[in-house]
Structure 1
Amino acid sequence: MPQVVADVWVPVSPETAFAVSQTTGETRLRWDRFIRHQHLIDADRPGKGVRTFTRARLGPSMISQYASYRPPTSVGMTMVKGPWFFASFGGGWRFTPATQDGVDGCRATWKYSYTIKPAWLRFVAEPIGQWLLGREIRARIAAWADGCRDPEVLAATWADS
């Protein structure tokens, strides 16, 4: 199964890093340039088993479900319904304490795993997927890191919890 991975260090605790990653509404849109809209389905708070609807800025939408939810260390999602070209899609995020240049913070690692359908298309589509999803996950984690440094995102993150 192909995977793309990105990681970054941010100068906030794993608790804060995790909380920013789980923001919704206007706070989420302030840092997450990948999405146009996102909401929880039949739930007020994220958690294992909760489903989420996400519409990407470029149009495709996906319903995913939390496969795991372990604040402040990790979260995992799997696709329930999504674009026709994904046979499967999942994402995982890990947050670990880390010090950089003498500053305490958090190292975040984000990973996407996926398979393409139909199977005969994988030979051509997987290299494109590696490039496209790799570019997207690197841009998205960089935007998330900016959100972890944004006073408005940080204030809203803790106001909502």
Structure 2
Amino acid sequence: MPNVTAELWVPVEADLAFAVSQTTGEVRLRWDPFIRSQHLVDAVQPGKGVRTVTRARVGPRMVSEYVSYRPPTSVGMTMVDGPWFFERFGGGWRFTPEERSGVAGTRAVWKYTYAVRPAWLRPVAEPFGQWLLGREIRSRIAAFARACGDNTVLAAVAPPAA
């Protein structure tokens, strides 16, 4: 199955980077360029087995399910219902503590895996998917990196002061 990957380093610890990646509501809409709307289904917080409904800014809607949820290191999702042109779609985000030039931070690696339908369209659609999804994931992870430096986003995910 084809896949696209993007990675970068952010100067925040892994638990904070993970928390930013899992924001919802107005906080998520503040930074995520892909999402027009998103909500959890019958849940108040993400977790393994929880479903989300996401509508992309360009229109398509997808219902996905968390197949793994391991704060602060990784999250994985798979499409349950989505656009007709995806036979399968999944995403995984990993967060690894990594120091650079004496600064504590996190290496974030995001990956999408997909299959296009109908099968006869794959020779044309999959290269287009590589380009489009590659552009989208790079834009999205860059926005995530900016969010890791956005005081409004960070305040929304910071643990309450003791």
Gaps of 5+ in 2: none
Aligned alpha-carbon RMSD (Å): 1.0
Deviations 1:93-144 (A, max 9, x none): 0000011222110000000000000000000000000000000000000000
Find the counterpart in structure 2 of residue 62 from structure 1: 62
Using the TM superposition, give the Cα deviation of residue 159 of structure 1 relative to its aligned residue in structure 2, in angstroms: 6.0
Q: How many residues align?
A: 160
Q: Percent identity?
A: 71
Structure 1 gaps, min length 5: none
Report the TM-score, using the length of structure 2 for normalisation.
0.97
1:2 corresponds to: 2
Structure-2 separation of matches of 1:147 and 1:26: 13
Q: TM-score, normalised by structure 1?
A: 0.98
Separation of aligned partners in 1, 2:27 and 2:101: 29
Question: What corresponds to 2:78 in structure 1?
Answer: 78
Provide the rounded CA distance (Å) in 2 between the counterparts of 1:76 and 1:101: 30
What is the 5 A alignment of 1:28-107?
28-107=28-107
Letter in 1 for 2:40: L
**Residue 158 of structure 1: how far off its partner (Å):** 2.4
Q: 1:56-92: CA deviations, max 9, x gaps?
A: 0000010000000000000000000000000000000
Deviations 1:1-44 (A, max 9, x none): 00000001000000000000000000001110110000000001
